[in-house]
Structure 1
Amino acid sequence: MGRIFKERTPVNEALRLFLENISTLRKTEEVPLESCPGRVLAETIISERDVPHYRRAAMDGYAVRAVNTLGASPANPVLLQLSDQIEEGGAIWVHTGAAMPEGADAVIMVEDTATAGNLVEIRAQVYPNRNVGQIGEDIKKGDRVFEEGHLLRPCDAAVLASLGFDRVKVFKKPVVAVIPTGDELVSRKKCVDVPPPGKMIETNGLMSALYVKKWGGIPRCTEIVPDNPDSIKRAVEANLDADMILLSGGTSVGKRDHAPEVLAALGKLLLHGIGASPGKPTALGIINSVPVVCLPGYPVAGLVALYFFVRPGIRKLAAIPEVPEPILKRRLAAKISSKIGYVNFIRVAFEGDKVRPLTGAGAGILSSVAKADGYVLVPEDIEGYDEGEEVDVFLIE
């Protein structure tokens, strides 16, 4: 392929094309309830029991027959006998959640009573089933509790536990191979001092792996691969058992940029070059049904590609349902300038009830992301936003 970007694919079109070439994984596994939050349910849950399975007191107080409290009030209390059985004129103390005694059909709250020896003074009238939890009032036997594809939360784990589950079937997480490339890179695990000029500590692989884990995948990181087509080819071939491959670096059009060429030689290069700034050198493709994302080496450009393509790609692989992304409405404390023809990823920091775009935030300035609270996406057909304009702010995870 040529050494220039012959075309730039709009971001939305690039994402559509990429997702069309990804098939959802259907592999399942059972996990304990303690580790199920954030996992996607791989079965429909139908209750095989009632919850609760017994009539229970919903308040601390006295279990009574409602008919025995008729007309009771603070000015005209009714006296009932303390007992261990509900008989005519009897009352039994119950705690919240305790089983209702045989014959009782209501609970009078302790606040509406007073005791005198073996007598209980009832100061309020109750009706049948007042302050009583009925069998199956939470979940009835035969209820469809969760559908397949539900994203499990801690509260869902509690519901499953109440149904008698100890483990639950979920879809397996996709394995994502992260392959950092670059002759200039040195491993942070092997570098004990400041690298010499021309060398730098590899950080994009770490960032990519952590985002993969955060978004529901299992990262598998390789050693740094040199800028050599054969070396990159061997690294990719060794990781084709993964569910997705991320090649970090070597995506532009310089003499040491080989990632897109290797992708095209091994499989299908869907596109090289997207209408995003930063992030233009991103390449997307498929090798033996395995989606491949070539991330630009500049860290912020790589981050943009992670957000735009890797996150939705993992969600499709893992059958993770779409959850609306939190968007904050804020006014700009300063003007934003952007390039026409590109979706511009503008980092911003909160400043009171406004946001301020960060200056000097080039694609190679990774600290600009750490200093930012969120980002603004300026569409391709807009030249920028003026100070004071209201914009949508996406939080940086």
Structure 2
Amino acid sequence: MGRIFKEQTSVDEALKLFLENISPLRKTEEISLEVCIDRILAETVVSERNVPHYRRAAMDGYAVQASDTLGASTTNSIFMKLSNYVEEGVTKWVHTGAVMPVEADAVVVVEDTVTVGDTVEVRAQVYPNKNVAQVGEDIKVGDLLFEEGHLLRPCDAAVLASIGFERVKVFRKPIVAVIPTGNELVSREKVEDIPPSGMVLETNGLMVSLYVEKWGGIPRYTRIVPDDKESIKKAIEENLDADMILFSGGTSVGKRDYTTEVVASMGKLLVHGIAVSPGKPTALGTIGKIPVVCLPGYPVAEVVALYLFVHPGIRRLASIPDFPKLPLKKTLATKISSKIGYVNFIRVIFEGDRVRPLTGAKAGVLSSVSKADGFVLVPQNVEGYEEGEEVDVFLIE
């Protein structure tokens, strides 16, 4: 087993191979607009309605025939009669969104008028259609509004509601089995006090599950699986209806690290050993059509693997569009050291306009991720950065 890490696959190569073995899910479901945010549209939407469907006032004011306001200004007022209809020399009050009188073709905003009794003093000239929303001005019948694969936002839900939608067809979220492994793990549900020496609370599975949910999947957080081949195999067999399987722990080269061996025996191990620090023991594979990620047991290494492989894997399964993740440009308060030959995941904290790397942030120190504001990825061919250099900082979500 020790030979497996003599040559590590680059991050880019590993991700490319992993994504090539993931097929997007195409199963759909209908959901209400109230819960559609961040879901992926599974249909093309063409409007069957005009919005607005009637000619309406776009401002509070007075509906008029524009020709009646010719020459009106603050120094040349025009006086009109206020009534409940519009004709030459006669105006009617309208509020924003109100139906425009058929005879009116413009609205004088209330700020440009003075009203005394049933007389309106107009102090501004308007032209035809001024402050009037025409039929279909927003959306016309036949307009293509959204294409399949669109990531729905709150503004999109409002547009769909405006054309009469109450429900929308979206792609189903992927179900992701999260399987923690390790004889040293103790369930948080079964321990009320500090675990005995040599035992630790199982927290990685919780973290992984929450990231899965945040990134668009449905986590299936399973019981703790002991470090033996049959138990790991049984856990896989119980989750073959999932769309992705994530193991937490058991990926290294120790005597009790069986996860990758079992995955290889039941499917195909694509990669084991990746040139990233921390996170080298990460393994990627497939069982049938199900992508499998074996995450390192050290929590920070697990976070790295989650960001680099699980997040893009879930996006591929769920057909979530690839939006560029824009980094922040920040200046280093102190130098960054890194291992040559590995992509290095460096946690940093903000200090005004600068960032400072966290010291003593080992792969097993999970609190270093919570303390960090972001991280810097140092390429494998770069041996760190000097104080004062500008670097790309990615926020920790």
Bin for the TM-score computed over the shorter chain? over 0.9
User: Residue in 1 aligned with 2:364?
Assistant: 364
The answer on 1:140 being equivalent to 2:140 is: yes
User: Residue in 1 aligned with 2:350?
Assistant: 350
CA distance in 2, matches of 1:121, 1:258: 87
CA distance in 1, matches of 2:392, 2:74: 58
TM-superposed CA distance for 1:6, in Å, is 3.4
User: Do 1:326 and 1:395's aligned partners in 2 also have CA atoms closer than 8 Å?
Assistant: no
CA distance in 2, matches of 1:188, 1:334: 39
The answer on 1:380 being equivalent to 2:385 is: no
Matches within 5 A, 1:1-397: 4-397=4-397
Q: Deviations over 1:221-271 (max 9, x none)?
A: 110000001100110111011000001100000001011100100000001
2:353 aligned partner, one-letter code = D
Which structure 1 segments of 5+ residues have no match? none
User: Do 1:82 and 1:90's aligned partners in 2 also have CA atoms closer than 8 Å?
Assistant: yes
| Change in 2 beyond 3 A, CA 1:361/1:2 | closer
CA distance in 2, matches of 1:327, 1:27: 33
Q: For 1:145, what is the secondary structure of its paired residue?
A: strand
2:331 aligned partner, one-letter code = R
User: Do 2:4 and 2:272's aligned partners in 1 also have CA atoms closer than 8 Å?
Assistant: no
2:278 aligned partner, one-letter code = P
CA distance in 2, matches of 1:43, 1:25: 14
Q: For 1:239, what is the secondary structure of its paired residue?
A: coil
Between 8-17 and 72-81, the greater mean CA deviation after superposition: 72-81
Which structure 2 segments of 5+ residues have no match? none
Q: Deviations over 1:56-111 (max 9, x none)?
A: 11111000000111111122211111111112211000001111011100000111
CA distance in 1, matches of 2:138, 2:38: 24
2:212 aligned partner, one-letter code = V
Between 276-285 and 67-76, the greater mean CA deviation after superposition: 67-76
2:378 aligned partner, one-letter code = V
CA distance in 2, matches of 1:141, 1:171: 26
User: Do 1:81 and 1:91's aligned partners in 2 also have CA atoms closer than 8 Å?
Assistant: yes
TM-superposed CA distance for 1:326, in Å, is 2.9
CA distance in 1, matches of 2:117, 2:247: 80
TM-superposed CA distance for 1:118, in Å, is 1.3
Q: For 1:206, what is the secondary structure of its paired residue?
A: helix
TM-superposed CA distance for 1:119, in Å, is 1.2
User: Do 1:3 and 1:254's aligned partners in 2 also have CA atoms closer than 8 Å?
Assistant: no
TM-superposed CA distance for 1:295, in Å, is 0.2
Q: Deviations over 1:132-160 (max 9, x none)?
A: 01111111110000111000001110111
User: Do 1:24 and 1:318's aligned partners in 2 also have CA atoms closer than 8 Å?
Assistant: yes
User: Do 2:4 and 2:273's aligned partners in 1 also have CA atoms closer than 8 Å?
Assistant: no
TM-score, normalising length: structure 1: 0.99
